[in-house]
Amino acid sequence: AERALVAAWAGPGATADGVPVKLLANVADGESAGKAAGEPVEGVGLFRTELCFLSRADEPSAAEQADIYAEVLTSFAGRYVVVRTLDAGSDKPVAFATHEGEENPALGVRGLRLSFDNPGLLGRQLDGIAEAARRVGTETWVMAPMVATVAEAADFAAQVRERGLKAGVMVEVPSAALLAHRMLEVVDFLSLGTNDLTQYTMAADRMATDLAHLTDPWQPAVLQLIAITAHAGRAAAKPVGVCGEAAADPLLACALVGMGVSSLSMAAAAVRPVGARLAQVTMAQCEEAAEAALAAADPAAARDAVRAIVG
Ligand code: PEP
Ligand code: MG
């Protein structure tokens, strides 16, 4: 029965009672964007630009970057694309950007932090993104990874807006979630990266398979931080999305929507199962699921409680 519902669902994302939920795709390059564009999504919620450069020894020029970004924007003409600036470092080494020999790369100079001692790297990437946006015309939003302070968000947003684009930051460090309301005073949108938010909240390496019980976005502490961020978005009337793996879990997706998240971005293959599940439940059920998840003592209890309401 579930399979028939998934096959019959054709978008756009909405609850059974018609509350719209933007469903978006996570993409890595022009090729994956071309495939994702065939799914019933309203755009790209996470373009991981660092994945374009994993095999590059030298930094591509702004012009060369513009050509690469333009491929993704072209696939999504008439929709919108959230481009994430380089998230090099830790689990994604990029030869021309990553700092070598760090004791603890996950807590080191990664993501936006690379621009602290190398502002030109970010400037050239923003030039490339702006040039691609101008050339193709697809609505383009830009966000930074690994933002920990409001000052970082404000500085990044100024550089993005200077180039005429919408600016946001990822919420994947607990400090950013706790200060979401202040972040929203300086940016246009937030995007929860639940993979890293879980890693940093639980102090458990996302790659460590023996810690999988801790690196679980259903952990109550992670759900609390997501709820804080989503509430701040509602209060500020600005978009707060989820682009981590949590968005691809149909049950958790319902609870996230109930918390107030306005978009869900996921691997293209997850879009239909998530869309079909959301179409079966009302916003009131999503809100009930969110409350039940937040009240649960542990991940298993949270899953069971949500499944009982929206499963
Ligand atoms: C995340 O951390 O949840 C995220 C979406 O970014 P990445 O998986 O690329 O670190
Ligand atoms: Mg991340």
> For position 10, what pLDDT does the model report?
92
Query: Residue 93: pLDDT band by 50, 70, 90 thresholds?
Result: confident
How would you write 24-92 as a 3-class SS string? EEEECCHHHHHHHCCCCCCEEEEEEHHHHCCCCCCCCCHHHHHHHHHHHHHHCCCCEEEEECCCCECCE
Q: Give the residue from 196, 181, 187, 101 showing the smallest Cα distance to 146.
A: 196
> For position 21, what pLDDT does the model report?
98
pLDDT mean across residues, the chain: 97
Alpha helices in 187-241 (DSSP H): 194-202, 220-236
Query: Average pLDDT, stretch 15-30?
Result: 98
Query: Average pLDDT, stretch 163-192?
Result: 98
Query: Average pLDDT, stretch 253-258?
Result: 98
Q: Which residues contact 296 (CB under 8 A, 6 or more apart)?
A: 220, 302, 304, 305
Query: Average pLDDT, stretch 35-53?
Result: 97
Nearest CA to ligand 1 atom 9: 48
> For position 100, what pLDDT does the model report?
86
The answer to whether the CB of 219 is under 6 A from ligand 1 is: no
Query: Average pLDDT, stretch 20-26?
Result: 98
Q: What are phi and psi of 80, to 5 degrees?
A: -140, 155
ipTM entry = 0.99
CA 191 to ligand 2 centroid distance, Å: 10
- Pairing of the two strands 263-266 and 22-27: parallel
> For position 2, what pLDDT does the model report?
82
Distance between start and end Cα atoms, the chain: 13
Whole-angstrom distance, CA of residue 50 vs CA of residue 48: 6
The token duo for 66 is: 């513009």
CA 8 to ligand 1 centroid distance, Å: 30
Whole-angstrom distance, CA of residue 32 vs CA of residue 110: 24
The answer to whether the CB of 244 is under 6 A from ligand 1 is: yes
Q: Give the residue from 214, 203, 216, 261 showing the smallest Cα distance to 24.
A: 261
CA 300 to ligand 1 centroid distance, Å: 23
Q: When comparing pLDDT for 197 and 2, which is higher?
A: 197
Q: Give the residue from 161, 183, 185 showing the smallest Cα distance to 171.
A: 183
Query: Quick check: bond before 12 cis, omega within 30?
Result: yes
Query: Residue 99: pLDDT band by 50, 70, 90 thresholds?
Result: confident
Asked if residues 143 and 191 have their Cβ atoms less than 8 Å apart, the reply is yes
The answer to whether the CB of 194 is under 6 A from ligand 1 is: yes
Nearest CA to ligand 1 atom 10: 196
Residue the block writes with tokens 């993979």: 195
pTM, rounded to two decimals? 0.97
Q: Give the residue from 12, 13, 10, 8 showing the smallest Cα distance to 250.
A: 13
The protein residues having their C-beta less than 5 angstroms from ligand 2 (an ion) are 172, 193, 196
- Residue 89, pLDDT above cutoff 90: no
Query: Residue 1: pLDDT band by 50, 70, 90 thresholds?
Result: confident
Query: Average pLDDT, stretch 274-298?
Result: 98
Whole-angstrom distance, CA of residue 61 vs CA of residue 66: 9
> For position 54, what pLDDT does the model report?
92
- Residue 44, pLDDT above cutoff 80: yes
Query: Average pLDDT, stretch 19-31?
Result: 98
